Amino acid sequence: MRSYYHCVTSRFGKRAVSVITVVSAAAAGSAFIAFIVGYFGLFTSRGGISPVMPVSAAAAITAGLAIALAVRLSADKKTAMHSRYTFLDMQLKFAAVSIYSGEVYRLGKRSVVRELYLIPFESFASASPSRSGKKLIIRGKMRRYAMNSDDLGYHIRDGAAEFDRWWLNFGAFEELDGAEIPALFGDPARICSAFEAGKKRFDALPKPRPHTPGKLAKPVAVPNAQRRRMPERLHYDPYRNRYV
């Protein structure tokens, strides 16, 4: 039985809206203060309208717009990347947690880096949300991979994970006794319940029967059995036209 959980990306949009609201309020406030100061000439010796007023107000508004645009673009990029590379894949014998980590450029080529936690239910102990509710605390033996996303592809065989890059099955990972994973998949309590249910399904699987070799049967002698003669002991009989 498979359960697949996507990353809840609405948090990035809400965070961007909050930051844009604060930045817009700060830019508007800065522009208003610059207008008041310039109009009344508070810091000028002669008084009157200062020529710095329109420049200061325009600079504040421009800076606010630039910051808001950068925040919006960053939120859109995080939404797109986490939607594709961040997921929770819960299989019959293991759970895989993939988290988008960022991008690197090597030799002019862009590579996506992500973390992959491979948690077998055989060694899984417990899962619980943190006090803040922003992380999942998972206890038990697990593997942690951190590398190029293209190298972390895997397929399922008999309910277990096997990597397409065969060497990842034997190395290039970090063994952990537990981990705190960002709660990016919705309600943390629901995800922890899904882990517990996966553990129960794994424990309910029928255990393989132990192999007990039986006793070897003794060879049975066949009466009146003609012994096979080796070729070097045969001779040709011309009258019978065969080897005897």
CB 54 within 8 A of CB 31: no
Write 208-211 long-range contacts (CB < 8 A, 24+): none
Asked, for residue 219, whether it belongs to a domain, the answer is no
Q: What pLDDT score does 118 carry?
A: 92
> Which domain range does residue 55 map to?
10-79
Query: Which of 79, 101, 135 corresponds to the end of one domain?
Result: 79
Q: What pLDDT score does 144 carry?
A: 93
- Of the CA atoms within 13 Å of residue 105, those in its CB half-sphere come to 1
Q: What pLDDT score does 116 carry?
A: 92
User: 111 and 186 share a domain?
Assistant: yes
The number of domains in the chain is 2
pLDDT in tens, 201-218: 888 888 777 766 666 666
pLDDT in tens, 167-179: 888 888 889 888 8
Share of the chain above pLDDT 90, in %: 6
User: 104 and 184 share a domain?
Assistant: yes
User: 75 and 109 share a domain?
Assistant: no
Asked, for residue 220, whether it belongs to a domain, the answer is no
User: 91 and 171 share a domain?
Assistant: yes
CB 145 within 8 A of CB 115: yes
Which of residues 209 and 133 earns the better pLDDT score? 133
Asked, for residue 233, whether it belongs to a domain, the answer is no
Helix pair angle (52-85, 10-40), 10° resolution: 180
pLDDT in tens, 80-114: 888 888 899 888 888 999 998 888 887 778 888 88
The phi, psi pair for 72, rounded to 5°, reads: -65, -45
Instruction: Report the phi/psi class of residue 10: left, alpha or beta, with left for phi > 0 and alpha for psi in -120 to 50.
Output: alpha
Average pLDDT over residues 38-58: 59
Q: What pLDDT score does 26 carry?
A: 73
CB 35 within 8 A of CB 1: no
What are the helix (H) ranges across the chain? 10-40, 52-85, 188-203
User: 93 and 49 share a domain?
Assistant: no
Other Cβ atoms within 10 Å of 129 Cβ, number: 17
The phi, psi pair for 102, rounded to 5°, reads: 150, -165
Asked, for residue 229, whether it belongs to a domain, the answer is no
Asked, for residue 221, whether it belongs to a domain, the answer is no
User: 96 and 144 share a domain?
Assistant: yes
Asked, for residue 209, whether it belongs to a domain, the answer is no
CB 132 within 8 A of CB 183: no
**pTM for this structure?**
0.69
User: 72 and 91 share a domain?
Assistant: no
With CA atoms as reference, report the closest residue to 194 among 88, 113, 39: 88
User: 145 and 101 share a domain?
Assistant: yes
Among 1-10, 33-42, 124-133, top mean pLDDT goes to: 124-133
